[in-house]
Structure 1
Amino acid sequence: MSRAARTESTKSPDPSGDRTPPALRLAGVGKSYGAGVARVVALRDVELEVAQGEFVVLLGPSGSGKTTLLNLIGGLDQPSEGTIEVLGHDVAALRGKQRTEYRRDRIGFVFQFFNLVPTLTARENVEVLAELTGTDAATRSGEALRRVGVGEVADRFPGQLSGGQQQRVAIARAIVKRPPLLLADEPTGSLDLDTGRQVLGVLRELARTGDHTIVVVTHNSEIARMADRVLRLHSGAISESAVVERPVEAAELRW
């Protein structure tokens, strides 16, 4: 951990006594697969609070449970034990249609691979989701594309865009529904340094506006330098949580 970070509890401090619920709270969360001698424990007794508007980076080697944890928070999988709350709502208790609505309305996903529909323009890729989550889909889609800096390429197809532009379109698609929680799994994994820094700068700015709480999963420890807080995951458990006292700008990152 850098000198600009200090270790702390996994719970976000609240010196003001403000009762605003955290964006995310996990208590005793575990995930296992199989049974008996074939049982595999992916996560164990995870305790965590993330404040609204916080930019958190989750670090860990392959197999440490990072993606499993992100999938649980995002409602793509269910914990074997424990509770997961997003803005006070118990995610672990959701089933069927409620879980689908939770993923649709409250969570934005950004992945390493852009997953854009190649036969749709950038604008149309965003509008597909916008139409499912409210009115004025065209207006909201245009605003989302401009917000991440690709408004000028809205009518181009993915194959006509650079990797960085495609990832920004993917981010626009994730935020067009204005989700309180944005989950990014290795968002720069397929990008070069300059493009990766541009994408991280977009994510950092989204957190600064206070509209989105962002959790980034990565194996790249350099990205931790721009976070508000860094969590390290080892063998399915959080081994360290540290506040970054002087986060750097994305343009200062090197890898």
Structure 2
Amino acid sequence: MSVSISEEAPEQAPFVYKGDIITHIKKASEIGYEAVELHIRHPENIDADAVRHACDTYKVEVSSIGTGLGYGMDRLSLSDSNPAVRRQAVERLKGHISLASKWNCLVIIGLMKGQIKDCGSREEYEKNVMEALQECVDYAESRQVLIVLEAINRYESDVLNTLQETTAFIREFDTDYLKLHIDTFHMNMEENSIPASMLEVRDYIGHVHAADNNRLYPGNGFFDFKTFLDTLKVIDYQGDIALECTGLPRPDEAALKARSYLYSIL
């Protein structure tokens, strides 16, 4: 199980820990997490060796790198109508992939996949994203890094909202290095039957985010985590479950109670 950390995220961003990465790697270890998910804005500013040393010291792994701050704070996306912005987005993601190769973890592309409103039409969206994402996939393949593409709810994204829609888009790429990223918060709004949807795309699921329906920690809302976890067992999911939720009421409390709750029903 993995817990989210970000060094420079806005106050409202749904990450459990915010602030110094090394400090929070230590906290995650003390609570009992086996891994951390690092949400990074500028990969070139990260001391990869220092993070690796901290993980080795505190006996945790980096499960995944989140890239959404590149869109949320810098408005970089793979769909932007401006080729210069798309180029910046690709180069930013390549930086994340290079970092991931040093930590042996995967890279999440969520908000940085962009939206139709960033370019004007569904046709232009697909053209822009397929071209830009293919370059990222080729780079990831050369470094043996898995990319996962996230299905995001309609209130945050105007495209690729459901597991089926996102998986159909992923199928357009002939690669084992692009998989589906699922998130309980988004699925709660988009899927008619979460277990049935998961079973339909079972071969493509590469990473999982957990948050309750209100984006608080799991167990602090009404999402059916027992059925969700049972479905992960049925499909033999072997990856991490990363806690991506708000750190309310307090980060340590959210991290501790989420871990305790999820392990109690695993």
TM-score, scaled to structure 2: 0.37
TM-score, scaled to structure 1: 0.38
Using CA pairs below 8 Å that are at least 6 residues apart, which structure has the higher relative contact order?
Answer: 1
- Flag the structure with higher strand content: 1
